[in-house]
Amino acid sequence: KKGIVHLLQSEGKGVDYLVLWLDCDREGENICFEVISCVMPNALSRPELRTPGPLQKIFRAKFSAVTPADIKKAMGSLGFPNEFESLSVEARQELDLKVGVAFSRFQTRYFQGKYSDLDARIVSYGPCQTPTLGFCVERHVLIQTFTPEPFWRVQPEAKKPGYPPTRFEWERGRMFDKRVASVFRELLLREGRIAVTNIVKREVKKGRPTPMNTVEMLKACSKALGMGPSHAMHTAESLYLQGYLSYPRTESTAYPGSYDIAEALNMHTRNPVWGDYATSLLHQGWTKPKGGVDVGDHPPITPCRGTRGDELYGEEARLFDLVTRHFLATISPDAVYLQTRVEAAGGGEKFVARGRIMVRPGWMAVMTMKYEEDVEYGDEEDEDDERGDEGAMPEFRVGETIELTE
C-alpha cells in the first residue's frame, strides 16, 4: 500500500488536472478521495477545485465497461467526485470496526472457558460475516436434523397405441398412512379403468429472463457451469478488464434508457454460434426487456464486444457464452407452450394428467436447454398450475374409459 501511495505522489507531482477512473460505486468514490489525498492534498480543503466551476481541477469519469466507446463517452462527460458517498463509506467502516470490536470482546469472554475444545484466543465477530455464517449454520442444522417420513401415492398409468404411457396424478397428493392408501389402490384395481371427465387445452407462456445482476450471474455459474462464486467473480472481472463484459458487480436488473440494444446486437452477428439468432432479432425486431430495478450503480451485466468463436478459452469462454446468451434471451419473445390437462375419475377418486408441447420457442431458442434446465430462467404464466411432462399427450375424449396398464 505504501508503494502505491509513493507511486501516486511521484507520478502526480506538478499535475494541473486529475481525472479519477475508479469503480462507479460508493467504495470507488471513497478511493477517489484517497487518490486526491496523495496527488492533490490541498484540494481536500478547497472544494472549489473538485466541484463544477471555473476553478475545477479534479474530475470524475463514470463508466461501466472498458471499451473504446465507453471510455470516450466517459471522457466526454466528466463529472466530479461525490464527497457524501465517500463519507458514507468511512462512516460504515467506523461502525463495522466499533461493532466488531465490541462483539468480539463479548464473544471471547463469554465462550472462553465454556468449551474445552475451543482453540481460539479471540472469537471474532464480523457485522456481515457472522450473520451470513448464521444462515449457513441454520441451514446445516435443518439438513442434519431432518427426519424423512415415508408416504404413499396412487398413480395409475394408461397407454394408448403410438404414445408412451400417460401417468395420472392423484388429486389427494400423498398419504402418510400406508393402510389408507392401500384401500384407495384396491378400489381402483377393482375397476381396472378410469373415465375421462374433462379436457382443458391452453397456451402458456414462459417469460423471458430479466437482465442479469451479480447475484443471478453467480447462481447461474454455480448451477449451469459448476463454478463457485469466487472463481466466477474472478473470471468475470478478467473478462471485464479485457473489455468483453460490463462491470460484473451490480444490483441493477434494468437496462438504462441510454443503452443501445441495436448496437449491442450488431456486435454478435458474426459469431458462428449465435450470430444468426442475433441477426434475426435485428431484422425482425427485438422484444422490450422486462422491467427490472435500476439501482443506479452500474447497468446489468452484458457483453461489450463480439467474438468469432476462437478468441476465448476455458472458463472465460463458458462464462462469456452464458452472459451473451442471457443478454439475447432478455430481448427475445416469450416462449409459448400448448398445455393439456386431462381430468379423470376411477374408484371414487379423481386424477389428473398434464403435458405440454412447444409452440414457439422464443428466448429458449438461444438459451439452450443445457442452461435452461439447470437454472430456473423465466417465469411461468400460471404459477398455480404444474408444468407437466414435455411432449405430446395422447388424444383423449371426454367420457372415454381407459384401461390401466399399471
Residue 157, exposed/middle/buried by CB under 10 A (0-12, 13-18, 19+)? middle
Q: Closest Cα to residue 193, out of 406, 402, 405, 348?
A: 402
Between CA 50 and CA 40 the distance in angstroms is: 10
Let me know if 247 is a catalytic residue: yes
Contact (Cβ atoms closer than 8 angstroms) between residue 324 and residue 265: no
Strand bridging mode 389-390 / 349-360: parallel
| Residue 340 φ then ψ, to 5° | -115, 130
- Burial of 285 from C-beta contacts in 10 A (0-12 / 13-18 / 19+): exposed
Compute, in degrees rounded to 10, the torsion defined by CA atoms 101, 106, 107, 108: 80
Ramachandran assignment for 255, one of left (phi > 0), alpha (psi -120 to 50 degrees), beta (any other): beta
Q: Given phi > 0 = left and psi -120 to 50 = alpha, else beta, which region is 340?
A: beta
Q: What share of the chain is helix, strand, coil (3-state, %, to 5)?
A: 40, 15, 45
Which of 125, 240, 244, 247 is the catalytic position? 247
Which residues are known catalytic residues? 247
